[in-house]
Structure 1
Amino acid sequence: MTDLPADWLRPLGSTGLTVSALCAGGGPLGSMPGNFGYEVPAQQGVDTVLRVLEGPIRFLDTSNNYSGGDSERRIGAALAQAGGLPEGFVLATKIDRGPGNDFSAARVRRSIAESLERLGLDRIELLFLHDPEHISFEEGMAEGGPVRELVRLREEGLAAHIGVAGGPVDLMRRYVETGLFEALITHNRFTLVDRSADELLTVAADRGLGVLNAAVYGGGILARGAAATTRYAYKEAPAEVVDAVRAIEAACARHGVPLATAAVQFSTRDPRVTSTVVGFSRPERVADVVEQASQPVPDELWAEIDALVPSSTHWLY
């Protein structure tokens, strides 16, 4: 394997935690065929987590509702087999809404209780509010709502640090600017073909938040190419986006750089991004993605890619 980048280990904002430049994403671990197009057997998910725990990636992110809790269950099974979290390894999970779009304080309590039980832990190092776009900002911030309860979980020590994870960049910025959160996850909005979150990254980094950039493959098209799929962010992509992917593929080929390598390093090379979240569902993929993050990429390729980004009218925002 290529030597790891010099900045492989990085401070996570002002949390005092140190994480790796790559974060193992737990979405595919529990099997999400609707998003990713394939099933993941239980033992394969457990084996994948065990491989992560053994390697240079020191950061794993999951969520309460991934595959109805199966992602956390498989992580918990791997932790039990491994004898617990390795020293210095950071595990993050997320608070998720319940049936009927319930994001109440009581639901927040149930969500973390469910996560702790599945994971076999008594506290979470990093706990995110997940997808708050399903309620209004005012509901999210209200007394009796999820944010106030998340803060209480931190005060009680059930969560050492808290963050916010979601999609719409304007809403995420409002949460970042409350000053209550220590970390941010944005997804599908800072990739080779979508720069929606560019300003958000600056705002979060300037405020001292740890920034996690997820879904850098856009659901697969930026890993496998436009010949394999024409879907971006789990839905059919506009023709201009697909054309841009094809043009970027061609530019990468001219420089001898795999498309997936460019997709990962577009994120890892940005100084505002603390860690880049990449989902894993097979043990062998761990070494593959570490290699992608470590391969040399010529500087001139980035300028070519920047010139090929589709119009902002096709970005997610």
Structure 2
Amino acid sequence: MSGRSEAARPFGATGLQVPPITIGTARWRDGTGRVARAAHTDALLTSLTDADQPFVLDTANSYGNSEQRIGDFYASRGGVPGHALIQTKADRDFATGDFSGARMRQSLQESCDRLRLPALPMVYIHDPENTSWDQAMAADGPVGALIEAREEGLIEHLGLSGGTVDVMERYVRTGHFEALVTHMRWTLVDRSADALLSAAHERGMGIMNAAPYGGGLLAQYPAATSRYAYGEAAPEVAAAADSIGRACADHDIPIAAAALQFSARDDRIDSTIVGVLEQNDWNATSELLRVAVPQSLWDTVEAVLPPASLWQR
């Protein structure tokens, strides 16, 4: 991997160790489209667990049955091993929009029950842009409830995971959070999260960057989708991705390798979250870290960067 070791490294000031790639489990849930089969996720977990190397599973209360799958697997193995970190996210009620402190408590209990854990090692407040600042910081609001849960030992570490960068940075500056997950906003074609990453890094927070492929646009060349993040890519964004893809092809490099390494090579980012459905996905992702990417390709990436007005924000 260009400029960074593949070994586990400190996760900010949390005292935890994380590898450069974190396994995202969002698509382990039941649903339509390509989802992970239980037999495949069990085989992946068996391989990771038996390898006795640090690994991280990133899940959430809202990720369908992914927490349940993880909990069931480790219940059958006698518990979570010391080299595995399971991190989850406390979610609002998607039916009612409830983002109260009481809902956070309920979300934590649901996650504990599914994961079969008496306490949660790392919990992130999930997408706080979906409530107002005043409601979030109120005495009976979600932030206070999660801080109390940490003080009680129900959660060991408290993080922040969400989208809109100015909202996220405001939460970072409170000093309440030990870790940050940002997504879709630090990629080959989008630099929205630059100031956010620096603010978190300066405070000693652990930092994870998710969705380095932008939802698929940067996963392969020619692109299999015209969408970036949660909507249709702007023409300039699509053109930039195409230019990068052509440059990668000229160097016989998968665009996915450049997309992944763009995140992994950043000294502020401790780990990059990538969706993994089965062992083959994990092997392929690991190989992408080992592809040699020349400086000339990084120069091309910077030369075709879309204007800031088109970034996700």
Separation in 2, partners of 1:219, 1:153: 33
Matched to 1:90, the amino acid is L
Separation in 2, partners of 1:190, 1:251: 20
Decide which moves more: 220-229 or 111-120.
220-229
Shift of 1:312: 1.3
Separation in 1, partners of 2:260, 2:19: 14
Normalised by the length of structure 1, the TM-score is 0.93
User: Which of residues 62, 66, 86 in structure 2 aligns to 1:65?
Assistant: 62
Separation in 1, partners of 2:193, 2:295: 22
Matched to 1:61, the amino acid is D
Partner of 2:201: 205
Give the length in aligned residue pairs: 310
Separation in 2, partners of 1:142, 1:9: 37
Deviations 1:173-220 (A, max 9, x none): 000000000000000000011110011101100011011000001111
Q: 1:32 to 1:267 in 2, by over 3 A?
A: farther
Any idea what SS the aligned residue of 2:289 has? helix
Q: 1:150 to 1:72 in 2, by over 3 A?
A: same
Decide which moves more: 299-308 or 181-190.
299-308
Contact 2:150/2:158 (CA < 8 Å) preserved in 1? Answer: yes
Separation in 2, partners of 1:7, 1:179: 29
Q: Superposed, which structure 2 residues align to 1:1-317 within 5 Å?
A: 6-31=5-30, 33=32, 37-55=33-51, 56=53, 58-67=55-64, 70-98=65-93, 99-317=95-313
Contact 2:26/2:275 (CA < 8 Å) preserved in 1? Answer: yes
Q: 1:66 to 1:259 in 2, by over 3 A?
A: same
Shift of 1:283: 2.0
The answer for unaligned runs of 5 or more in structure 1 is none
Contact 1:27/1:71 (CA < 8 Å) preserved in 2? Answer: yes
Q: CA RMSD in A?
A: 1.8
Contact 1:50/1:82 (CA < 8 Å) preserved in 2? Answer: no
The answer for unaligned runs of 5 or more in structure 2 is none
Separation in 2, partners of 1:206, 1:5: 19
Deviations 1:11-30 (A, max 9, x none): 11111111111111111111
Separation in 2, partners of 1:78, 1:120: 10
Any idea what SS the aligned residue of 1:115 has? helix
Any idea what SS the aligned residue of 2:215 has? coil
Any idea what SS the aligned residue of 2:219 has? helix
Separation in 2, partners of 1:225, 1:137: 41
Decide which moves more: 81-90 or 178-187.
81-90
Contact 2:212/2:260 (CA < 8 Å) preserved in 1? Answer: yes
Matched to 1:193, the amino acid is V
